[in-house]
A and B are shown apart, each in its own frame.
Chain A
Amino acid sequence: MAKQLFNQPSPLETRVVSKNFAIEGSETLDVYLKNDGYKAFLKAKEMTPEAIVEEVKTSSLRGRGGAGFPTGLKWSFVPRTSPKPRVIVINADESEPGTCKDRLLMEYDPHQLIEGILIAGLAVDAHKGYLYIRGEYRYLIEKMDRAIDEAYAKGYLGKNVAGTGFEFDLCTHSGAGAYECGEETALLDSLEGKRGVPRMKPPFPAVAGAWALPTLLNNVETFSAVPAIIRDGGAAFAALGTPKNGGTRLVCISGHVNKPGVYELPLGFPMMKAINEVAGGIPGGKKLKAVVPGGSSCPILKADECDIPMDYDTLAKVGSMLGSGGMVVLDETTDMVRFALRIMKFYAHESCGWCIPCREGTTWLKKILQRFYEGQGRREDISLLGELSKNMLGRTFCALGDAAALPTISIVEKFTEDFEMYLARQEVMV
């Protein structure tokens, strides 16, 4: 019997980070070693740290956690010769609504992630890594613990990694339920045993991160892409995508589609093709209304804006983001007031309360949307939602304020008719 996967693969995928997912026993070191495992690490061991960073730059890999920052550039910021020891922190606090990909990378290919972390260790001369996994993913903490134990037992972690004399220690660290801890500096505070509130930047984590040590912090998928980049070359990875948008990424398709799932697609893959062919189209022959392209923080796109290639630059051009790869598809029956309310309930719940524009703004927006949804909306609320959101933009410590404001602004502006419909219904009731 074939391995039972979360969803059936699509023939339209380009499998790089997910290439081992369907292999029986892919979570074990033996199977990993049989499938190119540790070729990249051994190759990297023969390279200079500068050459490793250069290779990652060539790949044009960009952070897969949400911000899309060029990975090689981030690595180059870590002061390799600092007298302080460097540490690596892996962000597995996957919590952006619409996003469920890091789960699969840890579940099906934990050793690929470990190898990616080890290569980063070579690049920045770090010897210690902390894998911060959200508390809800307890079964994955256990899976990663088992993979780490196996790697230690077989000499792929510890004092003499793969017989090369390189030393590296890795452990998991459990979160306990907080979206905000996906923000890198809040994650660091949480890792230090505090409330997960964001830090003032600068200093950036590369200079003073966990325990004030120079810290390299990337998302699970970002690290997982590194072995392929080193093994096959940065140029080969880059060539899979479009210029400046290298490689492939895991796209989590959810919402109103026939075949929701996580699919690995090259950067620049057409969005409509992803919806209609990869994910099997919209059920019941209904029409597309909107798409959240990369997790709930991203401005929403109307159906007529979705005929675009999915890459960072094109998404930026249409005023949105690729974010964390969480693509949520909405059909024509979707009530945008209800949808906007659910988004805002989330941000109001998850705002850490550290800074006022976010703490108060999200709660006010939630209250306004709530009364609208309950049939108590006022005409001026429509513009109030937009103005209030715009006043939050850029005025908060971290990106959570923007993450709440941006989708709201886009929904109110692009789907004003949904709000108008609520007002019209109220008038009829009176």
Chain B
Amino acid sequence: MIAATLLRLALWVLLAPLLPGIINKVKAWVAGRQGPPVLQLYFDLARLWQKSVVLSTLVSPAFVAAPAVAWVAVAGAAMLVPLGPLGAALSFRGDVLLMVYLLALARFCTAWAALETGSAFEGMGAAREVSYAVLSEAAVFAAMLSLSVQTGSVSLHAMLAPVSGAGTVLLAAGLFSVLLAENCRVPFDDPNTHLELTMIHEAMVLDHSGPPLAVILHGASMKLLLFATILTEAVLPTTGLAPLAVAGVVFAGVLIVTVGVGLTESLLARFAFRRVPMLLTMAFLLCLFSLLVAWKGGVA
């Protein structure tokens, strides 16, 4: 049990940094550039892990501890996500709530660490992060309710094996928007901008360096993988397939989502901040309509 969990954790830890690499490759490909290697984040993480750290004179030890706690929270949430035929490391009634709230714990820690520095930019980033999360949390809950109504279960293991129905398209669109918002991708946030005023997540980590920054970056990539996996499994009906086929389908799905994120980022500009709440409300409404469809008889 423990060995299996550790293996699973290793899988998550090792695969997660691949996603930002793929996204960047897609973006470079669309723009006609060669772009950084797909494994760039691995190199960055290895380099950051060796570096010494500059700490602000204002920060408390929590500035360093909070990213670690946030990473543990995201990793814990990842352990609850079933991986196709492998299932989840731990599955119980109501684990979906624990997963959502573990991600909230990660958000709390990141915002707390950002505010440690007493910097206006980081305060701004934290304020944006926790405020927009209100709407994305509503969307996530609507989506999870929709899955729960479809499958009659409150456990991720059963919820993420849905029967495809009319609401699936709505759910996919809603969850994809939530994925973009929660992982700070265009059009909600631009991870590559050099203007701090327009950032959310990157503005929060301005003062982090060395190993804590590595932990934050790795945690962010794991969160992206988590959302991509959930989106894939929530949308694709995999019941009845052979285990190997399910694994292949999920893997392909995650890849498609990742490429989709890259394409979105290449083809869309970041929205003005006052339009972000509207976009998130739209994501919420999409999830809500999928819930209504699931409830009022889209699928039996």
Question: Are A and B associated in one complex?
Answer: no
Interface residues of B (CB under 8 A from A): none
